[in-house]
Amino acid sequence: MVDVTTVASLGGVDTSATNIFPQLNSFNLGNISDLKFNIDGPILPGKISFFASGRFKKHDGHLYGQRIFHPNSFVWVDSLNDYRIDESVGLGNGFLPSADDSLDFFIDSLKDANAFDWVPMDWSEQVSGQVKVSWRVTPYIKMTYNRLYSDTKSQDYSHAFRWNPEGRSHSFNTRTGDLIRMDLSLNKSTFANAMYSRAINHYRSHLSPDPDFFELIVDDYKETGYSTNTLESSIYYVDPKIFNYAFGNNFYVSGQDMDVYSRKSIINTYKAEITSQVNSKHQVKAGAEARKTEISLVDLTVQLNPNTDFKALYLNPLISPMHDTFGGDGRNPIEVSAYIQDKLESDEMVVNIGLRFDHFNPDWKVLNDSEDPNYLSPLKPINTWFDTDGDGSISISEMDDSNLKSDQDRLKSNANGDSWFRTVDPKTQISPRFALAFPITESGYMHFSYGHFFQNPSFSYIYDNPEFEVPAASGISSTMGNADMEPQRTTQYEVGFSQQIGRDIGVEITGYFKDIRNLNSSEIKKSFIAGDRYGLYVNKDHANSRGITIAISKRSLQDFSGNLDYTYSISEGNASDPTAAFYDEESNIEPEKMLVPLDWDQRHTINGTMTYHPTNVSGVSLVFNYGSGFPYTTQFADTRTAFENNALKPATYNMDMRGYYNFVLFKDLIVSTHINIYNLFDVRNELTVYNDTGRSTYSLVPNYTPQFSGSRLNSLDQYLVRPDYYSTPRQIKIGVSVSIK
């Protein structure tokens, strides 16, 4: 079967929408392209079969900027002690103001004439594919090989770069996956499967549009700490000091994103399961899984300044607090789990009893002395020189170059006589699970479940700040990972009731409660340098979530089906963000000592779908969702005015419509047309709000901030129009597919 889809996009528009989303009223058939195909069939009938699919998807997005400036439109003029337009570069589309022109009026006149190019700023392009081969080795053994591939290129919207879109970084994400699975039928009541998979995910972000640009980053450095290789001057050619010219509430008028980031994960997974219907009442299921993840990371900023002779170089991450790396060995966490479950069925009830074992080894280390984190740049004198007289302090006579400790000396023994680092122990948990269901009417039943759940900390909180760097005299400016954190532990209870009404309607009511412990938080640690502090990730926060869901579903009878559910829930804790205590300390705010609404605390949600099939070859459906506002913390003039999450954002709602019609042209040829309309009513949901008003539409900042500052080329009111704060406007996709059997 071959399936090819071509898509066009069109958005609705009104006056306010045009101000928020410029170019929304422009009809562009090339805005979205979505081409898909799949093919399947036998290779050896009854033995080997295959399935293959591919997809190309391109989306220009709905957020646009104008190419008013190039990254190098401005140049520093020593005689004027100021920046001026470089006459050899000019503005976008080659416009060049004369000496008598006022630059701001010149730009405004060209903008009014729509003379600058509009550039999509949240575009993406993806190529993906899958190949699957199945082999029936014997009637009792089946082998499957699955290959997955996905490559995505994109650029994210940056409000500051709205007038200089060429200065943004490009993002690339390449994913590959290989999976081999064997299914075994041991007898009529017992079957098993074994699986091995290898998944690779490589995300890169850098200025160059070349996805392979990162390969130019070589881990080789001079004695000065700068890289031995120079990056291409055709890519990096602007002194980052230009950002000082357009600071605060100003669009960048020149400059380039100088950050280079790469994170690659290779995940090897081994998994096996067996299920056996022991007798008419007991079904036993058991399984085990082992996973090893190999993670590499490089996060650096390209340097282009007088110290580099204005050549594009980068510093050794081991000696620069600005840069991070996992080094050649990377990080290699190991996860192991196993479970056993017994399903007991009788006429009166169904009982599930299970036990799960989880083991997590981060394979990393923590500091033995939190006051002196970086052994390559020690702070305590006793970690720099040997204490030759054994008095516990370093005298002036001992501060001699011949008495210096080496890196290996410090690793063996710190100021307290311990090794500099301590390898952490693995974390384990045994989690019981229990579920019960029993009938209470002829067509209704009650169900209850109880369980403990184990969730490993995010790797970013374990391996953050991999060089253990806290710059001297930096105040409070750093966070540090902690490989010795405990996993998050959740205890969950659920009780519910289900009832069938008539032939086609079902009602279900479910209540739940979750108690969450060992949530990630941050703890302030003091450095040896007076006044220096940093945030260490720890397990300190806790939370709970409780709620009730009422769901009604209607099966497809008389050409109509649908479902509707409503959820009321409360999510509370003592912090949503693991870095909350760190930022409170940085802002001199007393940390929360009470339960507050969490960032994801949405009290009311409604979801519904309706589907109608007027004929056997056509159908139309509506998908609706509503959500009450998420919490946010009020501020005025960047100062918090109340406790965390004390106010609510506006509620959001959305409706999508989908329809299709199939044409059977020949016995083996079917042509299907479809239309998808997202955000049918073109609602402008406010997803991100200003903390001083709780709205996306306006802020109180103009009450105490001048309209013009810095380069004085845009007003504050212009800068405060944030299209990225709203949901995506209406989008219409029309497509056709062809199926050949």
Residue 730 has pLDDT above 50, yes or no: yes
Lowest mean pLDDT among 369-373, 573-577, 650-654: 573-577
DSSP string, 563-579: EEEEEEEEEEES-SSTT
Return d(Cα 387, Cα 403) in angstroms, integer.
9
By C-alpha distance, which of 521, 527, 515 is closest to 591? 521
Return d(Cα 199, Cα 624) in angstroms, integer.
35
The predicted-structure confidence for 374-409, as pLDDT tens digits, reads as follows 999 999 999 999 999 888 899 999 999 999 999 999
The pLDDT, as a whole number, for residue 283 is: 95
Q: Which pair of tokens denotes residue 646?
A: 């004390």
Q: How many CB atoms lie within 10 A of CB 310?
A: 15
Q: How many CB atoms lie within 10 A of CB 282?
A: 12
**Which residue type, as a one-letter code, is found at position 334?**
I
Phi, psi of 112 (to 5 degrees): -60, -30
Residue environment code for 82-107, b if the CB has 16+ CB neighbours within 10 A, otherwise e: ebebbeebebbeeeebeeeeeeeebb
The pLDDT, as a whole number, for residue 638 is: 85
By C-alpha distance, which of 179, 178, 158, 181 is closest to 170? 158
Predicted confidence band of residue 10 (pLDDT cuts 50, 70, 90): very low
Q: Are 735 and 5 in contact (CB under 8 A)?
A: yes
Expressed in angstroms, the distance from the first to the final Cα of the chain is 5
Return d(Cα 82, Cα 74) in angstroms, integer.
10
The predicted-structure confidence for 464-475, as pLDDT tens digits, reads as follows 999 999 888 788
**Residues sharing a CB contact under 8 Å with residue 72, sequence separation 6 or more, in sequence order:** 86, 89, 237, 238, 254
DSSP string, 437-499: EEEEETTEEEEEEEEEEEEPPPHHHHHSSTT----TT--EEEEE--TTPPPEEEEEEEEEEEE
Q: What is the 3-state secondary structure (H, E, C) of 375-389?
A: CCCCCCHHHHECCCC
The pLDDT, as a whole number, for residue 366 is: 96
Q: Which residues pair with 450 in a beta bridge?
A: 434, 493
Phi, psi of 49 (to 5 degrees): -135, 165
Phi/psi region, residue 109 (left: phi>0; alpha: psi -120 to 50; beta: rest), is: alpha
By C-alpha distance, which of 273, 279, 277 is closest to 189? 277
The pLDDT, as a whole number, for residue 5 is: 34
Q: Are 36 and 215 in contact (CB under 8 A)?
A: no
Q: Which pair of tokens denotes residue 323?
A: 């840069």
The pLDDT, as a whole number, for residue 592 is: 65
**Residues sharing a CB contact under 8 Å with residue 80, sequence separation 6 or more, in sequence order:** none
Share of the chain above pLDDT 90, in %: 76
Region 339-364 average pLDDT: 95
* DSSP H or E run through 716: helix 716-719
Per-chain mean pLDDT for the chain: 91
Return d(Cα 129, Cα 36) in angstroms, integer.
10
The predicted-structure confidence for 71-101, as pLDDT tens digits, reads as follows 999 999 989 899 999 999 999 999 999 988 8
Share of the chain above pLDDT 70, in %: 96
Residue 168 has pLDDT above 90, yes or no: yes
HSE toward the beta carbon, residue 701, CA cutoff 13 A: 22
Residue 1 has pLDDT above 70, yes or no: no
Specify which of 13-22, 244-253, 266-275, 707-716 reaches the highest per-range mean pLDDT. Answer: 266-275
DSSP string, 136-175: EEETTEEEEEEEEEEEEEE----GGGTT-GGGSPEEEEEE
Residue with tokens 């699955």: 146
**Which residue type, as a one-letter code, is found at position 121?**
M
The predicted-structure confidence for 521-554, as pLDDT tens digits, reads as follows 888 999 998 888 999 999 988 999 999 999 999 9
Q: Are 270 and 289 in contact (CB under 8 A)?
A: yes
Region 632-658 average pLDDT: 92
Return d(Cα 365, Cα 666) in angstroms, integer.
67
Return d(Cα 521, Cα 303) in angstroms, integer.
33
Residue 714 has pLDDT above 80, yes or no: yes
Is 7 strand, coil or helix? coil
Q: Which pair of tokens denotes residue 448?
A: 């209850």
Burial of 212 (0-12, 13-18, 19+ CB in 10 A): exposed
The predicted-structure confidence for 590-607, as pLDDT tens digits, reads as follows 666 788 999 999 999 999
* pTM, full prediction: 0.91
The pLDDT, as a whole number, for residue 247 is: 86
Return d(Cα 235, Cα 214) in angstroms, integer.
13
By C-alpha distance, which of 729, 737, 738 is closest to 9? 729
The pLDDT, as a whole number, for residue 13 is: 26
Return d(Cα 571, Cα 514) in angstroms, integer.
9
Return d(Cα 315, Cα 350) in angstroms, integer.
63
Name the E strands within 155-258: 170-187, 190-206
